[in-house]
Amino acid sequence: MDVLKPCLFLIVWALHPVSTAMLVKGAEHRNLFSERGCCKRQAHFIYVGQDISGSPVSVDVGVCRSTCGGGPRAPGSRGPGLPGYSKHASMLDYLRSKKVRERAPAETAGHVPSCGRSSTCEPAGIRVERMLLMEGQREVDVIDECHCELKLEQCVRMPALKTYLFETPYETVVDVGKCSSSKEFPEGFSCAPVRFDSALVETPNKMDLVRTLGACELRESCYRVPYIEYYYEVVHNANGVKEEKIKEIDIGRCLGGCATGNRCVLRSMTNPEQCLVWEEGTSGSCVPLGYQSHVFRSRHGQIRNILAISSCRCQL
């Protein structure tokens, strides 16, 4: 028995570095997994109204969170070895430091972006929930999952998948599209939709028409987009014979948003074109500025005057 004790001690001593290395490796693996798993869907409930029985209806539409916690503690903060002690001399100092920490950005507060600087945490899949409310049927977009999406410097149309009639025999996935977003765009410009298409979704009652995004361009915050309408027009040809033709008129639409009094109060020292801090103002609406008149005779002999938008502006 006395001979076995030294042998057991040598075996435990030899296996101690191996077990320690395995524990450290396992801890590193868990930390890496938690960092990669930070871009994920979290619950976000919104109130949509009352159903036909009068009961309130709330829906978890979800939200994509893009930051990870677990950063190092600030020096002088309360630690496990000094319970009950604080680095703050008074409650006033504690409240001041708390206010500063809340204003600090995520990276300086010990949080790191889960997707890196070149990507953002965005929805990877969205489904459309249809609910029958007292006011009628309403559709709500619900985020299913999130992923890291690469930031693009160009203004392009990007895929965006939506699932209609989820978990039914008529379930359909449509690429409705979206415009890329980036902070590298010139000041006062954004990647905005300029053309729309449509897709058909089969339902038990009829075919629904879903609007999809066709193309995006770099535009100012308030801009005009084409919108075509067709009319019957009666004209007389060179021989004086009455003819009926189809007249195409681009009446236009104003899209975008406006903000009055937006001024850059802090610019980047390395890139003067990049604004770091904006002074926000009140928002306005994008309305028609100029118009053109299209006069023609209808198939019933009446003179019609159709106004078409030629330009748009921000209304303060």
| Predicted local confidence at residue 215, as pLDDT | 92
- In this prediction, residue 220 has a pLDDT band, given cuts at 50, 70 and 90, of confident
Residue 227 tokens, joined: 């919108």
Residue 151 counted as domain residue: no
Using the CB atoms, write b or e for 143-178: b if 16+ within 10 Å.
Answer: beebbbbebeeebebbebebbbbbeeeeebebebbb
Distance, first Cα to last Cα, the chain: 94
Residue 279 tokens, joined: 């002074």
Residue 181 counted as domain residue: no
Query: What does the alpha-carbon distance between residue 75 and residue 84 come to, in Å, rounded to a whole number?
Result: 16
**Domain assignment of residue 285, given as a range:** 221-316
Mean pLDDT of the chain: 76
pTM: 0.56
Query: What does the alpha-carbon distance between residue 173 and residue 95 come to, in Å, rounded to a whole number?
Result: 50
| Predicted local confidence at residue 189, as pLDDT | 78
Residue 77 counted as domain residue: no
With 70 as the cut, is the pLDDT of residue 204 above it?
A: yes
Residue 102: half-sphere exposure toward Cβ, Cα within 13 Å: 6
pLDDT in tens, 248-275: 999 999 987 776 555 565 667 776 666 6
pLDDT in tens, 57-70: 999 999 998 766 54
With 90 as the cut, is the pLDDT of residue 174 above it?
A: yes
Instruction: Calculate the alpha carbon distances from 118 to 148, 158, 175, 312 in Å.
Output: 9, 16, 24, 34
Query: What does the alpha-carbon distance between residue 25 and residue 97 come to, in Å, rounded to a whole number?
Result: 36
| More confident call, 296 vs 120 | 296
Query: What does the alpha-carbon distance between residue 286 and residue 223 come to, in Å, rounded to a whole number?
Result: 8
Residues with Cβ < 8 Å from 182, sequence gap 6 or more? Answer: 151, 152, 153, 191
Residue 279 counted as domain residue: yes
Residue 146 counted as domain residue: no
| Predicted local confidence at residue 116, as pLDDT | 77
| Predicted local confidence at residue 40, as pLDDT | 85
**In the chain, how many domains are there?**
1
| Predicted local confidence at residue 150, as pLDDT | 85
What's the burial of 122, exposed, middle or buried (CB within 10 Å: 0-12/13-18/19+)? buried
Query: What does the alpha-carbon distance between residue 242 and residue 145 come to, in Å, rounded to a whole number?
Result: 61
With 60 as the cut, is the pLDDT of residue 133 above it?
A: yes
| Predicted local confidence at residue 171, as pLDDT | 95
Instruction: Calculate the alpha carbon distances from 314 to 195, 227, 255, 286, 294 in Å.
Output: 21, 19, 10, 5, 25
Mean predicted confidence (pLDDT) in 128-142? 92
Residues with Cβ < 8 Å from 199, sequence gap 6 or more? Answer: 174, 176, 209, 210, 212
Mean predicted confidence (pLDDT) in 282-297? 85
Residue 103 tokens, joined: 């204003």
Residue 171 counted as domain residue: no
Mean predicted confidence (pLDDT) in 189-213? 89
| Predicted local confidence at residue 85, as pLDDT | 43
Mean predicted confidence (pLDDT) in 12-40? 48
| Predicted local confidence at residue 89, as pLDDT | 56
pLDDT in tens, 74-128: 444 444 444 444 455 555 565 555 544 444 444 444 455 568 777 888 999 899 9
Query: What does the alpha-carbon distance between residue 45 and residue 63 come to, in Å, rounded to a whole number?
Result: 9
Using the CB atoms, write b or e for 276-285: b if 16+ within 10 Å.
Answer: eeeeeeeebe
Residue 267 counted as domain residue: yes
Residue 295: half-sphere exposure toward Cβ, Cα within 13 Å: 2
Residue 314 tokens, joined: 């921000």
Residue 53 counted as domain residue: no
With 50 as the cut, is the pLDDT of residue 36 above it?
A: no
| More confident call, 315 vs 289 | 289
Share of the chain above pLDDT 70, in %: 64
